[in-house]
Amino acid sequence: MNAPLRLGIAGLGTVGIGVVKIVRLHAAMLAARTGRDITITAVSARSRDKDRGVSLSAYAWEDDPVALAKRDDVDVYVELMGGTEGPAKASVEAAIAAGKDVVTANKAMLAIHGQSLAEAAEAAGVSLRYEAAVAGGIPVIKALSEGLAGNDITRIVGVMNGSCNYILTRMENAGLSYDEVFAEADALGYLEADPQLDVGGIDAAHKLAILSSIAFGTQVDFDGIELEGIERVSINDIRHADDMGFKIKLLGVAQRTGRGLEQRMMPCLVPASSPMGQLQGGTNMVAIEGDAVEQIVLRGPGAGEGPTASAVMGDVCDIARGTRLPVFGQPAAMLEHADRASSVLPAPYYLRMALADKPGALAKIATVLGDAGVSIDRMRQYEHSDSSAPVLIVTHKTTRADLDNAIGAMKSIDVLLSDPVVLRIEAV
């Protein structure tokens, strides 16, 4: 058997401890599957004295993760601290410079600095692997870069943030408002320390940027993603969508168009009967479409100790076997700088608006939409108060540009009481 593969783990939170448990519990199995023992030699975290439920006395301790990354008795540096800058980035760069392979779960760092880190890793001849950065325990990175390598990928669409999916499905199932479920999710510890990373769609957009790079051979472009969170989705939107046979999901979509790469992370309506429409709680789902395979759907837990540690160990095992791949599926120097395209492909849209309860208000809205080239598929007016009339409109396929032009014109006719809520209806 080959020499042991020695890990240095920085970050001993939920995922880091999950990795420690797998290495201990499945030592014989891992050796049989990879042809070498996998061991932990050193660790690093903010607090040495914290009770983490497992003994770490067998491992050397480094207060500084950069020092851990440089240790001679570490072959693979496992970065599980998180953060786009600071110790996470500095230690990964130090590990690469020292000739160490790196495994990370840090989606934010890769979404912002992925290109430069990929170039550095490939120049140094080391692996930089990150299955755990996207969709928890779902092996979507491996599926894209290996299993589907013979496909021209045409579209990726997915639910990539379990916290948002929990909030939306909990609102629906319990009939609660967004604010009520947000407070509940926060109290249960389902949200990041900065909840905006979850509910603002930022966490999921980091993941989409990474998947887009692999799928389309482009440099990671987080800033090119159209981004909208779930904060404006109301319980009434969820009920109205259900009435029409749809569910609302925070949906990531990446696809090539004639004008460039379109990347969106925003609430959308999807058919209630579709796999994504039926997705409940914190589960993630990613659908990948290619010219040869047509469509595959990957579903599984998007976070948590076991699923994320499982993804980390999948990468560690590949390194132990000697598997070497370009960071984003092809050499970093060959990745294109994609032109950005914003919602250029036509789609139907859902609009919810509150109109002043005046004669002819609805007719004026219909006229404005028609003048902008937006045709109405369905329109409903709900019971209203003395001063406002809630109206729901579903359009036929249109471009977002035409719809935005119509909304801009609506604001000049003095019948809107607030900005409309606009949700794309996505075919999945």
Q: Which residue has the tokens 């168009």?
A: 257
Strands 101-104 and 128-129: parallel
- Check: CB of residue 103 under 8 Å from CB of residue 76: yes
**Element holding 253 (H helix, E strand):** strand 246-257
**Annotated active-site residue in 207, 247, 249, 397:** 207
Q: Pairing state of beta strands 421-425 and 260-271?
A: parallel
Q: Give dist(CA 104, CA 116) in Å, integer.
A: 15
CB neighbour class for 214 (10 Å; exposed up to 12, middle 13-18, buried from 19): buried
Q: Where are the alpha helices (DSSP H) in 71-201?
A: 86-97, 107-124, 140-142, 162-174, 178-187, 196-199
What are the beta bridge partners of residue 392?
Answer: 352, 380
**β-sheet bridge partners, residue 296:** 288
Annotated catalytic residue 207 = yes
SS3 for 290-357, per residue?
ECCCEEEEEEEECCCHHHHHHHHHHHHHHHHHCCCCCCCCCCHHHCECCCEECCCCCECEEEEEEEEC
Catalytic residues: 207
